[in-house]
Amino acid sequence: MQQHPLGKLWSVSRLTLGGGGLGQIWGETSRKEAVATVRAAVDAGINLFDLAPGYGRGEAEAVIGDAFQGDPDPGLRFTTKCQLGSPPAGEIESQMRRRLERSLSAMQLERVDLYFLHSNIVPDDYRFPDPEITPEVQSRFATTWTRYVEEVIPAFEALVADGLIGAWGITGTGLPETILDALQYEKKPSVVQAIANCLDSPGGIRRYAEDPQARNIITAAVRQNVGVLGIRAVQAGALTDQLDRELPRNHPESQDYRRAAPLRNLAAELGISTAYLAHAYALSMPGVDSVVLGVKNRTELAECVAAEAASPLSQELIDRIDGLFN
């Protein structure tokens, strides 16, 4: 499998195995099949594994523990995340450290190579427009800019100094302008996870009213030499042949699935699956160092590995896909 430098860090495989599928967020699988999928990923040349305690309430991290039994090959790299929110002042470092230690225990690792802030970073006085997101609810998933600068970044640096993490990053799915600010701040993340799909859509994880600016975030990261992990290549199933779960008609993923009908028609014309085409497109996007997969079994993994082998797509095909949605 091809490799690519991840910003200023090391080279990684063009595909990253994510924990969403392993943790059964994207449909049912078994622990045995998930472990087999991890091992098949290694055999295919994947060397980066992107986890979080929230993927199946620790299940994805436990799969990694089972797969490697605390002794992964030296060339493999692992991430995890912290959904921090806005805890009381002075408690951020202890919470980040405690959650990291739980993740390390589950994965049977002594350190991770990347630790991501999984919270939305927002201006100090920002309120999400959805009336159901009360200040109390917002405090559970959003970290204010002042907390980020004054407490989160120093906590990351302390964890690096202690050898528990190699570097740190942010999940770039929150308020776009604040993500752009974080990418240009003097103490910037080493990696950002950014939306990378042909719809430029974050789907149901978008809580804000502003334009997502998906490609602007990738461009800004490249300019700052920040690594980019592309996420949502199939937009939570919207860019596949068939959604794998029942959703209300007005759900963002349902809306994107209907919007993606021309892509499904094109995939059928080419004799490939829509997911194959969507992954190949994400791998062809400028600035994306590696695409994070949400697969849950070896069959889905094999399709993505085949898409990687066929990427990048021709410029003619990229232009044709772009023309479906512009």
Asked if 13 contacts 21 with a C-beta cutoff of 8 angstroms, the reply is no
* Banded model confidence at residue 24, pLDDT cuts 50, 70, 90: confident
> What value, to the nearest 5°, has the Cα angle with vertex 204 and ends 134 and 295?
135
What's the number of domains the chain is made of?
1
Amino acid at 317: L
Q: Tell me, what's the pLDDT at 300?
A: 95
In which domain, by residue range, is 167 found? Answer: 3-325
Query: What does DSSP say about strands 11-13 and 142-144: parallel, antiparallel, or unpaired?
Result: unpaired
Q: What is the pLDDT of residues 66-84, one digit of tens each?
A: 999 999 999 999 999 999 9
Percentage helix, strand, coil for the chain under 3-state DSSP, each rounded to 5: 45, 15, 40
Rounded average pLDDT over 157-184: 97
Do β-strands 11-13 and 112-117 pair in parallel, antiparallel, or remain unpaired?
unpaired
Q: Which helix (H) or strand (E) holds 276?
A: helix 274-284
pLDDT value of residue 155: 97
Question: Pick the residue with more confidence: 244 or 177?
Answer: 177
pLDDT confidence of residue 262: 98
- Could you tell me which residues are beta bridge partners of residue 312? none
Going by the DSSP 8-state scheme, the letter that residue 133 receives in this structure is S
At residue 30, the pLDDT reads: 92
Q: Quick one: which of 40, 32, 63 has its CA closest to 50?
A: 63
Q: Are 103 and 112 in contact (CB under 8 A)?
A: yes
Q: How many CB atoms lie within 10 A of CB 168?
A: 25
56 pLDDT above the threshold of 90: no
**Residue 70, class by beta-carbon neighbours within 10 Å (0-12 exposed, 13-18 middle, 19+ buried)?**
exposed
Q: Global pTM?
A: 0.95
Residue 27 has pLDDT above 80, yes or no: no
Q: pLDDT confidence of 326, banded at 50, 70, 90?
A: confident
Instruction: Taking residues 246-257, report their average pLDDT.
Output: 95
Distances (CA, A) of 130 to 81, 84, 104, 148: 25, 20, 35, 23
Residues 86-97 pLDDT 10s: 998 899 999 999
Per-residue pLDDT, 244? 81
Task: With beta carbons less than 8 A apart as the criterion, state whether 31 and 66 touch.
Answer: yes
Q: Looking at residue 202, which CATH number applies to its domain?
A: 3.20.20.100
* pLDDT of 29 above 90: no
